[in-house]
């Protein structure tokens, strides 16, 4: 069990109003499992993702990530929980245009104070199908290839949990299907827990489990 949360709530004030962005959610995610979180805008998807990925702390409830209790932690303490445990993939890719594929992939290691190992970088690029693009710049890549670079960058520090926020949102159907297939491969072969949000119900149904939120609560799970 990599993530376990009970009674998760996230409230905040908007003037005199208390907004219940998340209002009592129980969730558990195992290693090697792909879990898709669906729901309309304002349903609580982003709030839940932020809690589970230690970008925010719950107002109430208990949350354990990779064996560490995170409820009530400060931002500095949340950073320490995230370090080496979580990898992030976003729909806008966020690649630096002047860096090659290899340099973009290895960039997180610089911030972690770690030295890049050419053999590991090569193995990750091979895993995401980008060996022949290692020296290319982002402008020389397709949208699907840029998303694969973003995934490789998230994997370079060896995370246990991969968080993907709308990872297929900017991709066509065929490319999106290829990214979902890659996620399945990573979960199966690397034992990664993959937590993703999507508006695409077809992609959501390909996950091991699907959780649907509405008004900050789980309304359906399969």
Regarding beta strands 193-197 and 34-38, do their DSSP bridges make them parallel or antiparallel, or are they unpaired? parallel
Classify 143 in phi/psi space as left (phi over 0), alpha (psi -120 to 50) or beta. Answer: alpha
Instruction: Please state the rounded mean pLDDT for residues 96-100.
Output: 96
In the sheet with 161-165, reading across from the earlier edge strand, the strands are 86-90, 161-165, 193-197, 34-38, 209-214, 217-221
Above 90 in pLDDT, residue 100? yes
pTM, two decimals, is 0.87
Which one has a higher pLDDT value, 203 or 193? 193
Give a yes or no: residue 126 inside a domain.
Answer: yes
Report the pLDDT value the prediction gives residue 65, as an integer from 0 to 100. 93
Which one has a higher pLDDT value, 169 or 160? 160
Instruction: Please state the rounded mean pLDDT for residues 19-31.
Output: 94
Give a yes or no: residue 62 inside a domain.
Answer: no
Report the pLDDT value the prediction gives residue 174, as an integer from 0 to 100. 84
For 103-159, the pLDDT digits (tens) are 999 999 988 888 999 999 999 999 899 999 999 999 999 989 998 999 999 999 889
What band does 179 get if pLDDT is binned at 50, 70 and 90?
confident
What band does 72 get if pLDDT is binned at 50, 70 and 90?
confident
Give a yes or no: residue 105 inside a domain.
Answer: yes
Average pLDDT, the chain: 90
Give a yes or no: residue 80 inside a domain.
Answer: no
Above 80 in pLDDT, residue 217? yes
Above 80 in pLDDT, residue 71? no
Report the pLDDT value the prediction gives residue 173, as an integer from 0 to 100. 82
Lowest mean pLDDT among 34-38, 182-186, 191-195: 182-186
Element housing 99 (H / E): none
Query: How many structural domains does the chain have?
Result: 1
In the sheet with 60-65, reading across from the earlier edge strand, the strands are 17-29, 3-14, 60-65, 68-69
Give a yes or no: residue 125 inside a domain.
Answer: yes
Residue 138: domain span: 86-158
Q: Is 218 helix (H, G, I), strand (E, B) or coil?
A: strand
Above 90 in pLDDT, residue 84? no
Give a yes or no: residue 97 inside a domain.
Answer: yes
Give a yes or no: residue 78 inside a domain.
Answer: no
For 58-68, the pLDDT digits (tens) are 899 999 999 98
Give a yes or no: residue 142 inside a domain.
Answer: yes
Above 80 in pLDDT, residue 170? no
Q: How far apart are the C-alpha atoms of 156 and 193, rounded to whole Å?
A: 15
């Amino acid at each position: 069990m990599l993530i376990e949360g009970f009674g998760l709530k996230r409230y905040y004030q908007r003037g005199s109003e208390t907004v219940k962005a998340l209002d009592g959610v129980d969730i558990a995610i195992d290693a090697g499992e792909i879990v898709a979180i669906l729901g309309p805008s304002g349903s609580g998807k982003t709030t839940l993702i932020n809690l589970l990925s230690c970008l925010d702390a719950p107002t109430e409830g208990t949350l354990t990530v990779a064996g560490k209790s995170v409820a009530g932690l400060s931002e500095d303490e949340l950073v320490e929980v995230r370090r080496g445990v979580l990898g992030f993939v976003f729909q806008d890719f966020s690649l630096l245009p002047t860096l090659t594929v290899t340099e973009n992939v290895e960039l997180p290691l610089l911030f972690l104070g770690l030295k890049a190992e050419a053999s590991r970088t090569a193995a990750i690029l091979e895993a995401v199908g980008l060996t022949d693009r290692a020296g290319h710049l982002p402008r020389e890549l397709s949208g699907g290839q840029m998303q694969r670079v973003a995934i490789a960058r998230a994997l370079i520090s060896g995370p246990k949990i991969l968080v993907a926020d709308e990872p297929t949102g900017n991709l066509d159907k065929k490319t999106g299907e290829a990214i979902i297939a890659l996620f399945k491969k990573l979960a199966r072969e690397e034992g990664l827990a993959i937590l993703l949000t999507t508006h695409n119900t077809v992609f959501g149904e390909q996950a091991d489990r699907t959780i649907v939120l509405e008004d900050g609560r789980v309304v359906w799970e399969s």
